[in-house]
Amino acid sequence: MSLQRIEAFLMAENCLLRDALVRVLRKKHDLLVVGAIAFSPSALEIISAANPGIVLFDSPGIALAGPRLVWHMRQTTAKRKAVMIGMDEDEETFLWAVREGVVGYVLKDASATEIVHVIRAVAAGEAVCPPRFSAALFRCAARDLALSCKPVQETKFGLSRREQQLVGLIRFGFSNKEIGSRLSLSEQTIKNHVHRILRKVGAINRLDIVERCHSIGPMLEAS
């Protein structure tokens, strides 16, 4: 019976890291490196053609911001898992990565052995993060649960279904441009919606919108 190997793809801007990790992974009998590149405009097409189960990224600016490769990759297939490697001890970046769909998060002081362990764990269906970030996940989960358990009072502010949807996306920190991209609407249309929401709920800014809408209950997510 042949061994089912984990197919991994590495997209790393750091050439030394990329080459060193490829050498390490190729020595593992249960891992198969199907690609290793720096970022290019055709990165998503290259990843899709290689069809890996795991994709490792070393740049939050590319994977999470800018091209938002993790988010776009997961719109194509949820089966492909994203792992961030060589990260700083920054809680905000970690939570941002989780929001984008990352299921493995490895700090810059991790050894090659630890990275291999994370790849295997993620391939087995686990989510892995440094223990020091576990508390942040619990806080976010508790906050979201508290919001979702509040009774629905859709008419309190007279928000439409679309406006409730926008409040949900604003709560997760998306910009007008990002919301427009998710909903296939122009950035100006989103700005107009946000201005109407501000008036309806009597808020002074986006954070105030979220605070005042807590009593509405679970916000509708983008489809």
* DSSP annotation string for 45-114: HHHHHH--SEEEE--HHHHTSTT-HHHHHHHH-TTSEEEEEEE-S-HHHHHHHHHHTEEEEEETT--HHH
Is there a domain that residue 141 lies in?
no
Flag the least confident range among 39-48, 96-105, 129-138, 214-223. Answer: 214-223
Same domain, 32 and 106: yes
Is there a domain that residue 61 lies in?
yes
Report the 10 Å Cβ neighbour count for 159: 21
CATH code of the domain containing 51: 3.40.50.2300
pLDDT for the residue 22: 95
pLDDT digits over 2-31, tens only? 578 999 999 999 899 899 999 999 999 999
Same domain, 163 and 206: yes
Is there a domain that residue 69 lies in?
yes
pTM exceeding 0.85? no
Question: How many distinct structural domains can be found in the chain?
Answer: 2
Same domain, 117 and 201: no
pLDDT for the residue 43: 94
pLDDT digits over 171-192, tens only? 877 888 888 888 888 999 999 9
CATH code of the domain containing 172: 1.10.10.10
Q: What percent of the chain has pLDDT over 70?
A: 88
Instruction: Give me 108's structure tokens.
Output: 């810059």
Residue range(s) defining the domain that contains residue 193: 150-216
Same domain, 128 and 191: no
Give the length of the chain: 223
Is there a domain that residue 143 lies in?
no
pLDDT for the residue 155: 45
pLDDT for the residue 106: 95
Write the DSSP symbol of residue 198: H
pLDDT for the residue 144: 64
Is there a domain that residue 221 lies in?
no
From 114, 136, 158, give the residue that closes a domain: 136
pLDDT for the residue 114: 94
From 101, 136, 171, give the residue that closes a domain: 136
Instruction: Give me 199's structure tokens.
Output: 């008036």
Same domain, 71 and 181: no
From 74, 102, 136, give the residue that closes a domain: 136
| β-sheet bridge partners, residue 102 | 82
pLDDT for the residue 214: 66
Same domain, 20 and 112: yes
* The residue to which tokens 């593992």 are assigned: 28
Residue 70 clears pLDDT 90, i.e. is over it: yes
